């Protein structure tokens, strides 16, 4: 795996582009097991992500088998209880704001397009709260992926380390594509950190960053046909001469 980092270009640029552009948030997985060697390889590649002064702020917990299934049961039960009694929301607060407290355009427009595009594909109507709840709960089943990943960070670190963390997470998703696998990064887990952190054995100083599903995407499930659009370069780039 060692390469010359100062080489002018990688030897197969098309494969790099394909790994990035074929990445998607898969929401249905096959039960096919993933070997520890494959997961370790993905994490080894991903660990080359940059971080300020090489702090490498990531901590990863890999859940498979009984540990995965037990966490799924705990969080699905909490999700159901929260729906039955919304006052429990105070117990399940995210430790950091992943989303803004107040949405504005164009972000709220993209969010709505994403949500209704997905629900429309699945035939879930605007007022169908039961099916919405069940679909949201798919997050807490890792969308049936055999591997669940939980990511934590030490609370003593600054917000810049979350920027570093994002690059690490992207590396995992791209490296997974190189192995023929798919992922789904999930901030949905963050509200259940008080359940997750003790379950995975995280230290008192750790904060949950997000979760991620990893596995073989189910090619026959229509939900994996949902691909979100991207803005053209011209809409987010300003050229200065």
Is 94 part of any domain?
no
Q: How many domains does the chain have?
A: 1
pLDDT score of 8:
77
Q: How far apart are CA 110 and CA 40, in angstroms?
A: 35
Is 46 part of any domain?
yes
What is the residue range of 68's domain? 16-88+140-220
Q: Are 156 and 42 in contact (CB under 8 A)?
A: no
pLDDT tens digits for the chain (241 residues)? Answer: 556 777 777 889 999 999 999 999 999 999 999 999 999 999 999 999 999 999 999 999 999 999 999 999 999 999 999 999 999 999 999 999 999 999 999 999 999 999 999 999 999 998 899 999 999 999 999 999 999 999 999 999 999 999 999 999 999 999 999 999 999 999 999 999 999 999 999 999 999 999 999 999 999 999 999 999 999 999 999 999 9
Rg, Å, the chain Cα set: 19
pLDDT score of 3:
67
- C-alpha distances (whole Å) from 183 to each of 15, 40, 180, 229, 240 are 18, 15, 10, 18, 36
Is 96 part of any domain?
no
């Amino acid at each position: 795996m060692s390469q010359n980092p100062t080489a002018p270009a990688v030897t197969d640029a098309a494969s790099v582009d394909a790994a990035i552009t074929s990445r998607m948030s898969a929401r249905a997985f096959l039960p096919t097991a993933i070997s520890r060697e494959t997961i370790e390889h993905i994490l080894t590649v991903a660990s080359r992500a940059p971080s300020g002064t090489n702090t490498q702020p990531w901590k990863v917990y890999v859940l498979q088998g009984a540990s995965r299934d037990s966490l799924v049961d705990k969080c699905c039960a909490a999700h159901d209880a929260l729906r039955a009694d919304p006052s429990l929301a105070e117990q399940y607060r995210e430790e950091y704001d992943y989303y803004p407290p107040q949405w504005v355009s164009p972000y709220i427009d993209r969010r709505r397009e994403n949500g209704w595009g997905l629900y429309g594909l699945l035939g879930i109507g605007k007022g169908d709260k039961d099916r919405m709840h069940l679909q949201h709960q798919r997050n807490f089943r890792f969308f049936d992926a055999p591997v669940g990943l939980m990511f934590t960070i030490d609370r003593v670190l600054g917000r810049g380390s979350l920027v570093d963390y994002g690059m690490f997470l992207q590396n995992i998703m791209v490296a997974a594509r190189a192995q023929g696998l798919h992922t789904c990064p999930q901030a949905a887990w963050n509200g259940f950190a008080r359940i997750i952190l003790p379950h995975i054995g995280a230290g008192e100083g750790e904060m949950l960053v997000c979760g991620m599903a990893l596995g073989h995407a189910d090619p026959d499930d229509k939900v994996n046909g949902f691909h979100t659009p991207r803005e053209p370069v011209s809409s987010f780039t300003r050229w200065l001469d």
